[in-house]
């Protein structure tokens, strides 16, 4: 299973803030950003560094530089993780992936997809709620067809159903999450979860 659950105390603290129904939108956004910092360390832990020569004030030394990184935010909840990525990796290039359910056919429908050049980049896909895995699997397939090779997904909460779907469709893709929850309910919400991430981020409850 390609899932890493981060159990760092800061991750658990901010996840608790996100889960708590009393958390306001302002607190929710801040907690989402802070929790994402704790996921980025693990998500980038295998990034192939470029070795460079530098000089300290005292003598020559060997240094390292991050490779190019592309973050793809799955709309709209993925936007709640983006600020943390931009803060830690300021030269990150950003793509967006939007999928919604067609009201008439109930089939998933792409409404927005835009990627920068992915060649040679480490790709991070921001999908906070890994529920059925349908949107994430679609975003990964699109990224792969645009040339992505090293893909890691960052999730706040994952459901077993979504993790299984990802393992079936994309066994090569790593998932870094703050929690693996119990199950999906009949409405496809993760339980215990944190509710609708997009609504809580953007106050559209
Ligand atoms: N999307 C959400 O925002 N919450 C869930 O529980 C599942 C999908």
Q: What is the pTM of this model?
A: 0.95
Q: Report the separation in Å between the CA atom of 191 and the middle of ligand 1, taken as the mean of its atom positions.
A: 9
The single-letter DSSP state of residue 1 is: -
The mean per-residue pLDDT over the stretch 132-158 comes to: 96
Task: Write down the pLDDT at residue 104.
Answer: 72
Which domain CATH number covers 65?
Answer: 3.40.50.2020
**Residues of the domain holding 14:** 3-202
Domains held by the chain: number: 1
CB-count burial class (<10 Å; 0-12, 13-18, 19+) for 197? buried
101 labelled catalytic: yes
Q: Which of 81, 188, 203, 205 to mutate to test the pocket of ligand 1 (most atoms within 8 A of CB)?
A: 188
- For the chain, the farthest-separated pair of C-alpha atoms sits apart, in whole angstroms, at 68
Cβ-based neighbour number of residue 102 at 10 Å: 10
- pLDDT tens column, 12-54: 999 999 999 999 999 999 999 999 999 999 999 999 999 999 9
Q: Report the separation in Å between the CA atom of 197 and the middle of ligand 1, taken as the mean of its atom positions.
A: 6
Give yes or no for residue 1 having a pLDDT over 70: no
C-alpha–C-alpha distance, residues 33 and 49, integer Å: 25
Q: Report the separation in Å between the CA atom of 157 and the middle of ligand 1, taken as the mean of its atom positions.
A: 9
- pLDDT tens column, 177-195: 999 999 999 999 999 999 9
């Amino acid at each position: 299973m390609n899932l890493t659950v981060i159990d760092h105390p800061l991750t658990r603290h901010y996840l608790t803030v996100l889960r708590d129904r009393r958390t306001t939108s302002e607190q929710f956004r801040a907690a989402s950003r802070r929790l994402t910092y704790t996921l980025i360390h693990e998500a980038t832990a295998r990034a192939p560094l470029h070795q460079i020569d530098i000089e300290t004030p005292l003598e020559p030394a060997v240094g390292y530089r991050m490779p190019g990184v592309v973050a793809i935010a799955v709309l709209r909840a993925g936007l709640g993780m983006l600020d943390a990525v931009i803060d830690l990796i300021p030269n990150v290039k950003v793509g967006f992936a939007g999928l919604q359910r067609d009201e008439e056919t109930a089939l998933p429908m792409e409404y927005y997809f835009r990627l920068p050049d992915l060649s040679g980049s480490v790709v991070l896909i921001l999908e906070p709620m890994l529920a059925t895995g349908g949107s994430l699997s679609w975003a990964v397939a699109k990224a792969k067809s645009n040339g992505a090779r090293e893909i890691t997904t960052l999730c706040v909460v994952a459901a077993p159903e979504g993790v299984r779907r990802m393992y079936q469709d994309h066994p090569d893709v790593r998932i870094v999450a703050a929690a693996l929850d119990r199950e999906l309910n009949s409405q496809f919400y993760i339980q215990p979860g944190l509710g609708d991430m997009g609504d809580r981020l953007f106050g559209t409850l």
